[in-house]
Structure 1
Amino acid sequence: MTRKRTYWVPNSSGGLVNHGIDIGDDMVSGLIYKTYTLQDGPWSQQERNPEAPGRAAVPPWGKYDAALRTMIPFRPKPRFPAPQPLDNAGLFSYLTVSWLTPLMIQSLRSRLDENTIPPLSVHDASDKNVQRLHRLWEEEVSRRGIEKASVLLVMLRFQRTRLIFDALLGICFCIASVLGPILIIPKILEYSEEQLGNVVHGVGLCFALFLSECVKSLSFSSSWIINQRTAIRFRAAVSSFAFEKLIQFKSVIHITSGEAISFFTGDVNYLFEGVCYGPLVLITCASLVICSISSYFIIGYTAFIAILCYLLVFPLEVFMTRMAVKAQHHTSEVSDQRIRVTSEVLTCIKLIKMYTWEKPFAKIIEDLRRKERKLLEKCGLVQSLTSITLFIIPTVATAVWVLIHTSLKLKLTASMAFSMLASLNLLRLSVFFVPIAVKGLTNSKSAVMRFKKFFLQESPVFYVQTLQDPSKALVFEEATLSWQQTCPGIVNGALELERNGHASEGMTRPRDALGPEEEGNSLGPELHKINLVVSKGMMLGVCGNTGSGKSSLLSAILEEMHLLEGSVGVQGSLAYVPQQAWIVSGNIRENILMGGAYDKARYLQVLHCCSLNRDLELLPFGDMTEIGERGLNLSGGQKQRISLARAVYSDRQIYLLDDPLSAVDAHVGKHIFEECIKKTLRGKTVVLVTHQLQYLEFCGQIILLENGKICENGTHSELMQKKGKYAQLIQKMHKEATSCRSISSHRRRRWKKAP
């Protein structure tokens, strides 16, 4: 049996704890990692200081705890190291990336896999960084307001400390770059001309030049490491924040699916490039200033001629880079359009093939692809011209400076020329930095504007309360709900006047009010003054005409609407079966289990009660048959029964069924109602929305909705005795059924009489 070492990670690493694990040939016991806040735990002091059990715990250094630990030049290996070696690295190990050496040696000895690669540092994980990004945005909104809040300032505050360190390292890089050409190289050239020079002095000069180059390389690489790690953290935070916002939205009307996909596939990388490459502008500016000063001291005022040539290059590079970025954005728009059309074609491919529309749709996609390819060629041409400029201009600037300097008959020795060229090498490197930095900042600017769509959307308010009374499952008290947030004033008496065709004078209509389903441009909410109490274990039947608010009632329970007045309470877990079945790519069993444990007896019972056994027998591999994307290989009734089976198998306390029998025939519908809804879900709270009125008499409570209001409420016998609208619907249903039976019998008699 192999036993792995047990680790206790300090609080600076975010609270990850490795408990230990025993791995044998036939058994694995123990836990690997568990998130726990050590400072609140009963063993925080004991485990944070295992060397000194009796000593009081040292107070934390705050949010810079891990950074200050990293600033220790040579940090000894801790007794209980963190799972990620980077969290144990000192300053020298961090800057030289020597903490990665043991992992490289391990990869040389044995192949790396998911079990041997150390986990991600908690400081780089999305959970910690998205909380910080969210906090910074809330502070920005509270300080400047939601309209004037700047995402750019939030980005700068997110990397403020690291940006300061990056600027200091950039200045150190520039100083070390010109230190050799100004001071050391001339001394070395003078020493080489001496006949009897001191060997120790010459070796010292060479060592000084070597040391300056090491400082230059170390400063630049450290700046690059800091920028890259900051960009990794920011990308993780932005991706998580945008994904959380999308999950929280009750309706996605402000952003299309193509924009969302493009954001996660393109804009997130643009933000990464902006944070990673944007600080190179600081190095470029610092190198321009320092190189100008050093060149002036080396050669005189003619050095500004070469500097001027480089200054003329920068606007040209910015112009060409912005042109390339503009073409790239146009290309991305065409790519989004092509992806959207392709997705629509693949979604409706069965219909397209039935009507033989393949060639027209293929021509549309080919035209978009041809346009996209031309734009890509334009981008490539502009980028090629930029690259050519980067290599030509430094040589041209040097040649122009030499010609002008010699034409003025100024002094130019080999030592001065060599030192000048060595000093201009810093500007040559800056010329390569400018297009990278400009491209990263320009792309990130447009990505920030799209990211602001996520930021400016307010998080939905969770209005469903947990009921304290265990005998009740659902409670609506004077609940008024809408699909959009509206002014509370629309739910007063003036709304009644509007619905009756009378508008009060001076009444102002809120712009964002959403009307009922049957009147998409009306002011009123979807559900108005709903009062409803559903006892635990009861079957509630919901009926009404199309657009009366039946599906909205289920959405209100699922917290997908906006509560304007009143309250909504729920007691228990929920399972929802929508009108349009949601099917994921995979086989039928995966769609029913949805990641849950496989219980064979319960699984077979669910298949029987949902009338899926006959369908599975017809499929080539039974419930293991791949059903394609969105269930393209299944009929509407099969998808609806799989969706119902998924809900039944989940074993929840409350079931919301939105017309589950609409896509099946009468025989299958009767089987599902008898075996599934009445038998398998006995004892569960069921809210059944249906147009099959013949099943309502088996419900313990029935409500009739009309224009978003509960028109009638009671049992089947009570509502029939009232002889109201519900009774009229039932009588109408019986008359239609009687007429259908008489027509069928008449047709059978005619067929029998036919010769």
Structure 2
Amino acid sequence: MIRTNMKQESNERQALLDDEKTSHSIHDQNRRASSRLEWTESTWFRLFHILFWSWLKPILLSGYKRQLIENDLDDSPLIDKTLTLLERLQSYDWSSTTSWMIIRKEFMKDLISVYLMGILFCMADITQVLVFCQLIWSITDKQTSIYRLYLYIILLLLSIILQSMAERQAVFCSNRVGIRIRNALNIIIYIRALSLKSTSSEKINTGQILNLITSDTFKFEELYTNLAGLTASILETIILFGLLCWIIHPIPVLCGYALCPIFILIQIYFGRKFRQCREIAAVCSDKRMQAYSEFIYGCHTVKMYNWEKPMENRIVQMRKNELESIRYTSRFRAFNRTQYFISTQLLSLATFGSAWLLGYPLTIANTFPLIMAFAFMRDNIACWVPLAFEKFNEAKLASKRIHAFMHLTVKQEHQSSTNTLLSNQKQKGSIVMSNAWFSWQNDISCLSSLNLSVEKGTLVGIVGPVGCGKSSLLAAILGEMNLIEGQVNTYHSSFSYAAQSPWIFADTFRNNILLNRPYDAQRYRDVIDACCLNVDLSRLGSCDDLAIIGDNGVNLSGGQKARVGLARALYDDADIYLLDDPLSAVDRTVAEHIYERCIGSNGLLKNKTRLLLTHQTQFLFEADQIIFLSHGQIDKEDRLDENFTRQNEPDKKQTSVLTTMLEDNPPECDEQSIITDEISVNDRSNWSLYYDLFTALPSGICGLCVLIVLLLLGEIFNDGANYWLSIWLKQSKIDRQFSPKYAYIYFGLIIGALVMDILVSLMGDTPHYPWRGCQCQRGGERGGHCHCPDHGKMENTYCRYGGNHWICFPFSRRRSISSEGSYDNDHE
């Protein structure tokens, strides 16, 4: 009967493996196509494809015909791949060099390409101004040939097309470099976070690490994304000065340009304020992210104990504190952005006003080209420059935080503390401690005077009362603690660690054991048998070990989690196995089975060095060495109490649940997976969402109506000023110079436009976030495991999308209604 069951199990497993191979084969056939962008950039002969974006044509056609899926996307170019970026930055010493210097040195060629694209963008703007000037002059000259006018119109259209193409290429190039730098920093921070010692937990927590990845690296992306515009703005402002002096007299131009130093001083002040506000907001954000992380990963406990309301109040209070700093920052941002909307009017007021007062002639031929030039200068001095000041100060603080994190992870004593003696290949699997003192923090010893010698291939038991330092001893061997004094040598041995609280992640049952290591069928089967996981696999349904396990092993019991964690440690072929009380979560009969099959003299690890930490001392009579710990020291006088051990021996009449399950036929299986793939149910947003966004002002729908009225009044004043300027210029030279009525009305309209733009800026940048209640929506969902949330999606939603849209939206709304210029949104 047993052979029949084993044969049937073997056949079922072979069928599953065949299905898996088939699925992998199908996946290989449907994998992403090679990068068309990389193919386009491989030679200059494909410049046409770059300029006209023809490499996007296949995916655009696919998106037009049907909804896109992941496999429709091209593979990333090699230069943008994460592993390539990691190789570029991994060789630097981050402890002695700031992130600024590393990025500038490593990405200099990329930044030069961005600067060149900015120069090209600048030349396209200047060409457009020159052609427009020639067209205006030709129109005012009655002797100009009609063919010449057509020629200038065609040249103007071509210059606009050239400017548009140059702008798109510059934006694409700078955005690509910014994303490349951000991804490089993300992977470096992630790699370093994996190498953090446990002693670093007092200096940095999960919330701070999440903030580094989601927020601080994004500040670098924002800064370098605006490099092309900043380069073009500086160069263009200088060239426009000479061009305007040629169009009109230099004195009025100097009067207009005198506003530039004032704008820059204001921007320097606001830049410092942004940095101070960012420091306060970063501290609040770190605390909030830590609370979010704790809530997300403990949401099942929160639901079980009905703690939703206290947790909501806690997170709401943290978010309120953070919003106070954001509101404070938004007020400064509103004043800073006001410069963008009032700069054209101020430049016109200063230039035309000084020309009128000093008696310089104002004509259609020199005023309207100046207005066009002022529109370009507005983007320069009131858009790119203040944006660069703001992002530079924010990135400077982010660099400081990243540098502190990278410096924490690469201290010299952390790297060499566990290997201070000469290593010997033959002694791999041995451990030697000589008068070793260890601490978790501030040189306060937790383990002291440790003299220990563990030989290769032995079983070492570690016992002692609760809190005596048993788990700390394993952490010290792993190098997770600070070595204060003494020497430790592990002879470069490899370790495999089974934690007392196993980590289970959302993936298949098999991959929770393999951890993406190569699949060895025989080794895997031996480990499954040794850890008594056969029955657990049979209960997972036809998917067997390919069944999905939820976050934190939500669909596994405590004993199953412990055995999965033990199987993960056993699967690795290491020199030394550190087992932190792996038998505490199972009953005594199952513990005996696991000990005999895994740890004992006839177990899977019989030829390996094993350090077993346990309170079940009946398993330690086979131990080659027993370490008694007491108050962080090795107690050499203590001995095993045989009577106490006998009291701990299992009752022979006691029936093990797992043994009963092994003997009985497996019950009916639930084949439904608890986790399903994320799919797009509806790719269109409801109108109610847009309504909520447009009314996301403190005064709701009334505030939106007032904002629209202010926008319309601003456009009326602005267009009225331009119209009145054209009427003023049609008057005779004497009337223009000596009749102040036209000048007063024009300047009054300009001042009215200034007031409207200031009010729009102050009102549109008042922060209001429809976030309240969303943080506990998931926590309030009751139900079984089938409604288990995906912690990664939830955390990404809270830390990445929770505030960005609400912060940038008011300005986006104002920009979409306003008809002047362009301005790139920023994100908090």
Settle same-fold status: TM greater than 0.5.
yes
Alpha carbons of 1:137 and 1:294: their partners in 2 closer, same or farther (altered >3 Å)?
Answer: farther
Matches within 5 A, 1:38-57: none
Q: CA deviation at 1:413?
A: 1.8
- How far apart, in 2, do the equivalents of 1:259 and 1:640 lie? 30
Distance in 1 of aligned mates of 2:74 and 2:547? 38
Q: Is the counterpart of residue 438 in structure 1 residue 385 in structure 2? A: no
RMSD after superposition? 4.6
**Structure in which a larger fraction of residues adopt helix:** 2
In structure 2, the partner of 1:248 is 195
Mapped partners of 2:40, 2:362: distance in 1: 51
- Do the aligned partners of residues 513 and 415 (structure 1) sit closer, same or farther apart at CA in structure 2, a change above 3 Å counting? same
Q: Does 1:87 align with 2:41?
A: yes
Deviation by residue 1:551-601 (Cα, 9 ceiling, x = unmatched): 355445545456763532266x64321222222245766644545788999
From the superposition, tell whether residues 482 and 83 of structure 1 become closer, same or farther in structure 2 (CA, over 3 Å).
Answer: farther
State which of 219, 222, 243 in structure 2 corresponds to 1:273: 222
Partner of 1:286: 235
C-alpha distance in 2 between matches for 1:354 and 1:189: 75
Alignment CA distance shift 1:346-1:287 (3 Å): closer
Question: What is the one-letter code of the residue matched to 2:641?
Answer: I
Deviation at 1:441, TM superposition (A): 1.5
1:123-174 CA-partner distances (Å, limit 9, x unpaired): 1223233333344556xx7xxxx3xx44323333233344445445545544
Q: Cα deviation per residue 1:97-134 (whole Å; 9 max; x = unaligned)?
A: 53525545653686655445332111122323333334
The percentage of aligned residue pairs carrying the same residue is 25
For 2:585 and 2:402, how far apart are their aligned partners in 1?
Answer: 41
CA contact (8 A) 1:482 1:514 kept: no
Name the CA distance, whole Å, in 2 between partners of 1:399 and 1:198. 35
Residue 365 of structure 2 corresponds to residue 415 of structure 1: yes
| 1:125 aligns with one of 57, 68, 81 | 81
Work out the CA distance in 1 between the residues paired with 2:513 and 2:102: 44
Q: Work out the CA distance in 1 between the residues paired with 2:56 and 2:548.
A: 46
Q: Is the 8 A contact 2:111 2:177 kept in 1?
A: no
Cα 1:279/1:108, change in 2 over 3 Å: closer
Mapped contact 1:541–1:688 kept (Cα < 8 A): yes
The equivalent of 1:468 in structure 2 is 425
Q: Counterpart of 2:429 in structure 1: which amino acid?
A: L
Check conservation: 1:477, 1:532, Cα contact below 8 A: yes
> Which residue does the alignment assign to 2:817?
none
Q: 1: distance between equivalents of 2:561 and 2:585? A: 9
- C-alpha deviation, 1:335, in angstroms: 4.0
Distance 1:708 1:377, change over 3 A: closer
TM-score, length-normalised on structure 2? 0.62
Alignment-derived partner of residue 582 in structure 2: 660
1:295-306 alignment to 2 at 5 Å?
295-300=244-249, 301-306=251-256
Residue 584 (1) aligns with residue 505 (2): yes
Quote the Cα distance in structure 1 between the aligned partners of 2:333 and 2:394. 15
1:226 is the counterpart of 2:173: yes
Equivalent-residue separation in structure 2 for 1:710 and 1:589 (angstroms): 39
Matched ranges for 1:19-38 at <5 A: 28=25
Contact 1:82 1:88 in 2 (8 A): no
TM-aligned CA deviation for residue 259 of structure 1:
0.3
Displacement of 1:276 in angstroms is 1.4
Counterpart check, 1:259 vs 2:208: yes
**In the alignment, is residue 691 of structure 1 matched against residue 691 of structure 2?**
no
Q: 1-side partners of 2:622 and 2:387: how far apart? A: 71
In the TM superposition, residue 238 of structure 1 has moved relative to its aligned partner by 0.7
Say if 2:376 is the partner of 1:426. yes
Q: Distance in 1 between matches of 2:121 and 2:295?
A: 54
Q: Is the 8 A contact 1:310 1:397 kept in 2?
A: no
1:33 Cα shift?
Answer: 14
CA contact (8 A) 2:170 2:228 kept: no
SS in 1 for 2:62: helix
One-letter amino acid of the counterpart of residue 356, structure 2: T
1-structure distance, mates of 2:247, 2:398: 44
Change (3 A) 1:625 1:482: farther
Partner in structure 1 of residue 445 of structure 2:
515
Give the stretch that moved more between structures: 592-601 or 267-276. Answer: 592-601
Within 2, Cα distance between the matches of 1:113 and 1:292? 51
Unaligned runs of 5+ in 1: 1-23, 35-79, 486-510, 518-523, 713-724, 742-755
SS of equivalent to 1:234? helix
For 1:284-433, what aligned pairs fall within 5 Å after superposition? 284-300=233-249, 301-316=251-266, 319=269, 327=277, 330-347=280-297, 357-373=307-323, 383=333, 386-430=336-380, 431-433=382-384
Structure 1 residues 454 and 363: CA distance shift in structure 2, 3 A: closer
Gaps of 5+ in 2: 1-20, 652-828
Q: Taking CA–CA contacts closer than 8 Å with sequence separation of 6 or more, which of the two structures ends up with the larger relative contact order? A: 2
| Structure 2 residue matching 1:302: 3-state secondary structure | helix
Q: How far did residue 373 of structure 1 move?
A: 5.0
- Shift of the 688–449 alpha-carbon distance from structure 1 to 2, 3 Å rule, reads same
What does 1:103-252 correspond to in 2, within 5 Å? Answer: 103-104=58-59, 107=62, 113-135=69-91, 137=93, 146=96, 149-171=97-119, 173-179=121-127, 181=129, 184-194=131-141, 197-198=144-145, 201-202=148-149, 205-206=152-153, 209=156, 212-213=159-160, 216-251=163-198, 252=200
Task: Say whether 1:733 aligns with 2:733.
Answer: no
Partner of 2:83, secondary structure, is helix
Contact kept? 1:137, 1:154, Cα under 8 Å: no
Letter aligned with residue 85 of structure 1 = W
Aligned length: 612
Asked if the contact 1:548–1:706 (Cα under 8 Å) also holds between the matched residues in 2, the reply is: yes
Q: Counterpart of 1:542 in 2: which secondary structure?
A: strand
- 1:539 maps to what in 2? 459
Kindly state the Cα deviation for residue 661 of structure 1 after the two structures are TM-superposed.
2.4
Name the CA distance, whole Å, in 1 between partners of 2:555 and 2:29. Answer: 42
Distance 2:175 2:589 in 1: 64
1:298-349, CA deviations, whole angstroms, 9 ceiling, x for partnerless residues? Answer: 2111122222345434444555576567556645543443332344345555
Cα distance, 1:214 vs. partner? 5.3
Q: Which has the higher strand share?
A: 1
